[in-house]
Amino acid sequence: MVFRLVKRILKNRTASPLVEEGILLSLTVVSLAVVLSLIVSLFGGIDNVMGGANEAMNSFFSSALRSLDDLVRQLNSLFTG
């Protein structure tokens, strides 16, 4: 009796397209998650690069201003001293 039920279930393949669509849908979701994680990591890398460039520019300009200030003080002491 149990074997007949199992045979009948195995012969009934009407759910096969639903299973196939479910597998394809899950594969699509996983692929989308991978693509989104790549995009997020790319934006994170760009943010780090831009932050580093911003810090480098700030450091350069503060160093340049310090050097110019020292130059102006030395010229001022040369002409007034």
Distances (CA, A) of 78 to 30, 58, 66, 67, 73: 72, 30, 18, 16, 8
pTM: 0.52
CA distance 35 to 70: 53
Token pair recorded at residue 45: 């890398």
Query: Which region holds residue 25: left if phi is over 0, alpha if psi is between -120 and 50, else beta?
Result: alpha
Domain tally for the chain?
1
Residue 40 sits in which domain range? Answer: 2-80
| pLDDT recorded at residue 13 | 60
**How confident is the model over 24-81, as pLDDT tens digits?**
999 999 999 999 999 999 999 998 889 889 999 999 999 999 999 999 999 999 888 6
CA dihedral 71, 73, 76, 81 (to 10 degrees): -120
